[in-house]
Structure 1
């Protein structure tokens, strides 16, 4: 942080006054105060000038010489330590200041300078200087970093923005409900529509017939019932029954034309219904997407809480510890996330221009906050002379390890199964497995697209449920060749160990807890099969050493047993290992024994384990 000239002037004047404080013939505040202040990168020349003025005014000549030399030595010592270590810790500077003063006092006694303190006073002075450097440096650092609490003028606009986003979200939800009401389905053929079909038939065929008046003007004509029966037959089975045609032929001279025209009319009506149903589906898709937009706005309206004012002491402590490690903090903010955990945002650079490991700052911040911290993913591992913005999160309780085993279908060049391991910044880990319909490149592209969409939505901050619905909407709109994919997701909270399983047309998932294995199944259609999809969500608690095993349909279907889930449970129970990669491979080896070494479908086994850090 840039030091103001007024503060430097005040500290310089205080340094001059400190030269007048004498205890047992010693002036311990002089080296202690100077060293503590010099560590804060105050202008050394200005500070030294003020100290020399004070020594000239308040000290005898011999003491002024001794402490004047001590200050020059400390400048060199601090510079040397910073050059070698990228930073100078206060305790090390205190040791150097105490030893330098002790040695110079000892040399003064050997030279028999006048007014020299006795040996006990010299030793106590060195001890006092050591402790005073540490305490004064902390106090001066806090004063240098202290700024008056100012009310942010941006608070009201930010709060207004949050309210506006909530209002927008409510509007989008209302619009979504309108689209859902518009897309409410109706019967395939209503009674009035069947009546219109009958009128259209008689209008086209009977209007040009000379016998029309004879057939329809009689009150007792049976044609009404015959046509109604024939239309009902076409509606139900797609063609008129033989008895309907025979009955119609008795009373209608153009019975053949009537039947052919009825089939053509129903073909057109069926096509219209197909397009209308497609329109309804598109409306439902739009409603789903509007709901997702409303969720985004509601999520944005829930702002994270900035703790800069409440945690000023902690922030000052972070700056102090970073300074001792040679790290300069240009800007820092402490934030409480929506789930109540800490996030730290800081612009860091090296004070001396060298490269410093980012772990050094993570350790310093963790000690200052009293919590373990971790850097965001894909962050630079070294701090350089150019300021860079870094983000740090409260560290998780658990870490995860994954393993995979895959076998392609015999004769296939590529597997139709795809998997995903995704660690989110909010301390959650996602396992994903998708089985594309069929095998080969087309199935691979479909399952890859599904997982890619889910990953993108989750990284953007969507919930898993919203991500699945958005992805399903995209797949329904795509609708190419009726290719569908199963989705099997497991989201693990690495803070609490809670796991949520989302299964859409997927095979069973197995949880291995020591010697026990739990089987989790569901019955639902794959993604893209319908607009209103059924998401099966199940929750379970994991502890250190528990495994999650996910498999595709090809693994269970070709075990050739009545209850493949029970057999898979027995296979997993019989394997003893702490390595998820070995577990996945051994499961695949056992499965291949059941299939005789043949792979009639793509097979994938995904295993993951969590361990306490």
Structure 2
């Protein structure tokens, strides 16, 4: 309501004033650059702090400022010291000689502390206390020594010690050119005290019947109220009023004016500079009624002058101040920019690693031309060894290898191919064309036969090495792809959802729910993630019955509770994570039996969600039966689960598993793999079958068959994975089984037709009942004999219908979501 009134009142003036602000900002920016470059700020601070006095006789500001500046900007120390003395000379109650003595004593004390190795800033407050007390005591001893003067010397020394601690916190904010960390609450208060102390130096300055201290204090209120809001504005008003009232008791009433104006100006900061200025004018009028008619116009004029200075202030100063104060929009933008740069650097680093892994994969991958060249090179090496032992001493060497090189090389290659195919040289080949071409054909064939066994061993190890290279190349390529996807996730710009979070909180408050916090992790369409904490509902299931339905209405898509933590005995609050509901859900039924009714089956299966809204069903059948087969199939599924969860594409995952199983041992270790990847958003399913039996889809009275022709995993070093894609529909039953079930009818010729008929005869739609009935039918067909391990898994695809309908509320707009990036 306040914001609407503010916009109605201030809107006609904002357009005109914004044109003047551009001119004011350029002039103020030039002045700001001049002050920073020439160090005028230190001279100005020193001059005003040299004039500053409290209770009419204490000057506790100058020596602490001089001492802290000694450590921060020693190059400006003597200029600031001269400005302090100049400021003390301009005050009728100033004590320039006392300040000079105090600064001189500090320099001496600092030299002594440097000799003792205690010259760092931690000991500066105690040094200031000592020199101030000593200088004041010496002055009192030479003028008038009384207990009162000794007490006031102790008071001023104590104030100087406290101000030194305050200046240590606040002066670096002025002297340090660049700062990256936000201001702490203590630093903000210390900075306000420093500014109020500086304003104390202007007490008694009257320009055209206007008090300069009042103008500067209200100007400071306007700046902080506009830059940081009402809380900081009120704090500046209170602290500034207290410090000024210590110097001038008549300024006590100004504290109320400054505090109220700072609060009101901060509340009206949405109206930009005009709104903050109106806040000061309203505060001045309200407090002015208590001052009296005689001075109300003077007070109003002082506020108007402060407003003019405020309008001249460049925007860069407000942005600079706001960026260091937590809770402001500028500070949030700075932090967001920092996190964005950090994400970009991290993403670039991850992409570099991905490129390195891809290059390594390419270097390990041999192209077909390279493979052919390597084979030719290997053959040439073998033939050169043969000719070295036979042809080098032959008298027909020149005739065979120079005049008839092509024929000789062709015949030698034929000999190698014959030996490679048959393992020995047959008589028909030995008396053929090669014997007519070579006068030492018998000797060449004998040497070639002797060397071939060693060469075959060499070829076997070389083949193993090439397979290892291929495995490493595939793994590196998969890791590179995962890192590339990770880099893309990092590059997604992190968003701050303050408005949407507040919108959700307001909706909950309207229906009477007490929510501790709402954290929106993602608003991507189809991938909404929100964390909410609320008081424990003691089993009323408010998260599923109220919160999730209400969020579904606000977000515009079905939201469900993914997980919840109810801490009854801790802080009395529960935490829940709500995510986008998938369009489809999968319910499964499993039935299995070991060979001969044993306890351990060689079959294993696993159902899992692998991220990105995909649901995987995998069955593996190990070679044979018993414990060994169980371990083989279990290891296959364990590797598959780990690789799929890492983000590697399923085809690469299966090839990697095959290579690992093929290379890990010389034993004949292999297992089948039947994998179905179901997309829960579209119900589109990818079937990857390696040596497995067909799968079946029961859709009403129709039964579809999914087949593929591949050898089991681990038999061949390199396999081609056939991928079959099928679009499932709501109500479909997906039936996957091992060969123990599929091959049970030994005498049936068309087993696929037989199994289709068995599935069609089952009427029930419950996945578990279908699995149990199908296994029972097969066992009955075999007259109760279980000749092999049998496993069947049945999955039913259904529309995901939420348990509770959405809660509609009028007046709450829906949250806009980002479009989905999931293909």
**Shorter-chain TM-score: which interval?**
0.5 to 0.7
1:361 aligned onto 2:543:
yes
What is the CA-CA distance between 1:477 and the residue it aligns to? Answer: 3.6
CA distance in 2, matches of 1:336, 1:470: 35
Match for residue 587 of structure 1?
774
Q: 1:532 to 1:340 in 2, by over 3 A?
A: farther
What does 1:48-447 correspond to in 2, within 5 Å?
148=329, 150-151=332-333, 152-153=336-337, 154-181=339-366, 186=371, 196-201=381-386, 203-204=388-389, 230-243=415-428, 261-303=447-489, 309=496, 312-318=499-505, 321=508, 324-329=512-517, 332-337=519-524, 340-346=526-532, 348=533, 350=535, 356=538, 359-362=541-544, 363-370=546-553, 371-376=557-562, 379-381=564-566, 384-385=570-571, 390-410=576-596, 414-424=600-610, 426-447=612-633
Normalised by the length of structure 2, the TM-score is 0.50
Any conservation in 2 of the 1:418–1:434 contact (CA below 8 Å)? yes
Match for residue 638 of structure 2?
452
The structure whose Rg is larger is: 2
What is the CA-CA distance between 1:312 and the residue it aligns to? Answer: 1.7
1:546 aligned onto 2:732:
yes
Any conservation in 2 of the 1:183–1:283 contact (CA below 8 Å)? no
CA distance in 2, matches of 1:311, 1:369: 19
Q: 1:194 to 1:402 in 2, by over 3 A?
A: closer
Ranked by relative contact order (alpha carbons within 8 Å, sequence separation 6 or more), the top structure is 1
Q: 1:292 to 1:203 in 2, by over 3 A?
A: closer
Per the alignment, in what secondary structure is the counterpart of residue 495 of structure 1?
Answer: coil
What is the CA-CA distance between 1:609 and the residue it aligns to? Answer: 0.9
Q: Deviations over 1:516-550 (max 9, x none)?
A: 11111111233334454322222223333211000
1:608 aligned onto 2:795:
yes
CA distance in 2, matches of 1:514, 1:340: 30
CA distance in 2, matches of 1:217, 1:293: 55
1:598 aligned onto 2:780:
no
CA distance in 1, matches of 2:731, 2:770: 13
Q: 1:335 to 1:605 in 2, by over 3 A?
A: same
Q: Deviations over 1:364-423 (max 9, x none)?
A: 15413524323335x535565177875331122333221112122237652111111213
What is the CA-CA distance between 1:249 and the residue it aligns to? Answer: 11
CA distance in 2, matches of 1:533, 1:173: 22
Q: Deviations over 1:230-279 (max 9, x none)?
A: 54432221111134567899999999886554323111111111111111
704, 707, 713: which one pairs with 1:527? Answer: 713
CA distance in 1, matches of 2:394, 2:489: 78
Moved over 6 A (4+): 4-10, 182-185, 214-221, 223-229, 246-258, 386-389
Any conservation in 1 of the 2:508–2:514 contact (CA below 8 Å)? no
Match for residue 678 of structure 2?
492
CA distance in 2, matches of 1:467, 1:366: 39
Match for residue 759 of structure 2?
572
Per the alignment, in what secondary structure is the counterpart of residue 265 of structure 1?
Answer: helix
Any conservation in 1 of the 2:340–2:493 contact (CA below 8 Å)? no
Which 10-residue stretch deviates more, 283-292 or 359-368? 359-368
Any conservation in 2 of the 1:412–1:439 contact (CA below 8 Å)? no
For structure 2, the residue ranges without an aligned partner over 5 or more in a row are 1-227, 235-326, 802-823
For structure 1, the residue ranges without an aligned partner over 5 or more in a row are 11-145
What is the CA-CA distance between 1:573 and the residue it aligns to? Answer: 1.1
Which 10-residue stretch deviates more, 288-297 or 316-325? 316-325
Any conservation in 2 of the 1:314–1:368 contact (CA below 8 Å)? no
CA RMSD between the two structures? 4.1
Match for residue 562 of structure 1?
749
Per the alignment, in what secondary structure is the counterpart of residue 749 of structure 2?
Answer: coil
Q: Deviations over 1:103-130 (max 9, x none)?
A: xxxxxxxxxxxxxxxxxxxxxxxxxxxx
Per the alignment, in what secondary structure is the counterpart of residue 600 of structure 1?
Answer: coil
Match for residue 23 of structure 2?
none
Q: 1:189 to 1:175 in 2, by over 3 A?
A: closer
CA distance in 2, matches of 1:218, 1:372: 86
Q: 1:320 to 1:470 in 2, by over 3 A?
A: farther
CA distance in 1, matches of 2:379, 2:655: 37
Any conservation in 2 of the 1:490–1:500 contact (CA below 8 Å)? yes
Q: 1:309 to 1:246 in 2, by over 3 A?
A: closer
CA distance in 2, matches of 1:496, 1:471: 28
**Paired residues, what number?**
463
What is the CA-CA distance between 1:441 and the residue it aligns to? Answer: 1.6
Per the alignment, in what secondary structure is the counterpart of residue 565 of structure 2?
Answer: coil
Normalised by the length of structure 1, the TM-score is 0.65
What is the CA-CA distance between 1:300 and the residue it aligns to? Answer: 1.0
Match for residue 83 of structure 1?
none
Any conservation in 1 of the 2:739–2:790 contact (CA below 8 Å)? yes
CA distance in 2, matches of 1:365, 1:147: 31
Q: 1:510 to 1:465 in 2, by over 3 A?
A: same
Any conservation in 1 of the 2:601–2:626 contact (CA below 8 Å)? yes
